[in-house]
Amino acid sequence: MIIHLDLDCFFVSAHRIDNPAYANIPLAVGGRSNLAIFDRKKSVKKISEISGAFTSSLLSSHGNKTFEEYFVDKDGRVRGIITTSSYEARAYGVRTAMSTAEALRYCPTLKILPPNYPLYHSLSYKLKLLLEKELPSIEQFSIDEFFGDVSGWVKDEDVVVFANKLKKKIQDELGLPISIGIAKTKWIAKLCTNHAKPFGVKRIMPQEVNEFIKDIPIKEFPGIGSGYEEKLKKYYIKTLGDIREKKELFYSWGKSGKQLYDRICGIDYEKITYKKSSKSIGLGRTFEPIMDRDEAKRRITILSRHLSFLALKDRHEPMSFALKISYQYGEKEKGNIRANRIFNEQYFKQEMIKLFNSSDTHPQYSITQLVITLSNFKENNLATMDIFNYQEDQIQCNITTSLQKLRAKYGVDIIKTGGEL
């Protein structure tokens, strides 16, 4: 059997561990675009022990800030969005992605806390270590979700008892409430967890799948977003049970349609993956509109330094660089280049500035977002390198290696270039 574990209201639960005053009250954690990366002052950023596309590797904490310091601008406006809310808050209509101002209108007594990402990542890592001792194989699906395969480890008739004991162990040792779904396949197990919450266990046997999914709205199934939901509604498909009756339609859509149909019907039998390899890594920030192009280039240089550190930390040798620019009035531009030199921090910064100069096609507009991405990783791309710059690249690589060691020990901001200041 496959089990899916999902922490209940994770960020809120994390804050409640050592704060009894937060128990049983409407509580939420909110967030804002983290612009501390662009500060000229020294700051400390922790490197996450968790890897994966679902999470940032650079962590910052705002846990010591008050509501006014973190959420209220100088003009008095309340900013930010809700990232997690307690069940007490949800009873008032508070939901994820709702603005903090709107959440307070729904629930005036709501207490909203600034995020503490080092705390969340530390607890997630501790949970991973606990699960590695209790389960023969696990897959971390997100910061607060895991899959486990207990086939041959626990008898099918004993798996509910096993899951309840595991749930209690996690609560006792980490102070975190968790819900567990159980099924023969991954995605039905994940769907079960939604119906096990809060702090419950639910199992669906293969012969029960059709009845279980019959009336579940299609938007509840992982992988069906709002766009896909609208597409399905054109075929009068509103529930997962409706999908089960449309096998020929979904199979006609090729591999992706077949995959979705099989997952929903519980006939996919996909294995859990032990480690997901990254195909790309990126870093970006959204901010108040800026017109100053020198400031935009400064921010690109800072993002490049951080992304360079992350790429080298994970031993990636990227062959492609990309930049996305978002403007104040909804315009967007993208640019990308193919690298032909050994990857190092200085070369990467230079190329990203060149890419910005060529991609910034709306100089009359203010910029609201910058995102840079590295992809097309190669284990050894020396054969494709520009030999005329080889000696210079070796020097830069030696410098980058030295900087990497210092930053790994003392923080990503221990050494900055003059242009960043």
Question: What phi, psi does 148 have (nearest 5°)?
Answer: -140, 140
386 has a pLDDT exceeding 80: no
- Of 36, 30, 31, the C-alpha closest to 306 is 36
- State the CATH architecture for 121-265: 2-Layer Sandwich (3.30)
- 10 Å CB burial of residue 198 (0-12, 13-18, 19+) is exposed
**Burial bucket for residue 51 (CB in 10 Å: 0-12, 13-18, 19+):** middle
CATH architecture of residue range(s) 8-115: 3-Layer(aba) Sandwich (3.40)
- In the chain, domain spans: 8-115, 121-265, 280-420
pTM over 0.85: no
In the numeric block, which tokens belong to residue 196? 């096990």
SS3 string, 257-283, reads: HHHHHHHHHCCCCCCCCCCCCCCEEEE
Which pLDDT value is given to residue 117? 86
The whole-number pLDDT of residue 275 equals 56
Residue 46: which pLDDT band, with cuts at 50, 70 and 90?
A: low
Percent of the chain with pLDDT strictly greater than 70:
82
Written as six digits, the tokens of 312 are 């080298």
Residue with tokens 């904490």: 61
What is the overall mean pLDDT for the chain?
86
Quick one: pLDDT at residue 291? 95
What are the two backbone dihedrals, phi and then psi, of residue 376, each rounded to the nearest 5 degrees?
A: 55, 60
Q: Place 88 in a pLDDT band, splitting at 50, 70 and 90.
A: very high
Strands 27-31 and 46-47, by their bridges, are: unpaired
Q: What is the pLDDT of residue 45?
A: 54
User: Has residue 42 got a pLDDT over 60?
Assistant: no
Helix, strand, or coil (residue 373): strand
Q: Residue 384: pLDDT band by 50, 70, 90 thresholds?
A: very low
Q: Is 14 helix (H, G, I), strand (E, B) or coil?
A: helix
Tell me the pLDDT tens digit for each residue of 243-290. Answer: 999 999 999 999 999 999 999 999 998 998 865 556 788 888 888 889
Query: What pLDDT shows up at residue 388?
Result: 41
Answer yes or no: are the C-beta atoms of 323 and 359 closer than 8 Å. yes
The predicted pLDDT at position 390 comes to: 46
Superfamily of domain 280-420 in CATH is: DNA polymerase, Y-family, little finger domain (3.30.1490.100)
For residue 418, is pLDDT > 80? Answer: no
**Residue 217 CB-half CA count within 13 A:** 8
Average pLDDT over residues 228-245: 94
Torsion (CA) 146, 150, 153, 159 in degrees, nearest 10:
100
**Where is pLDDT greater, at 115 or 341?**
115
- pLDDT confidence of residue 63: 65
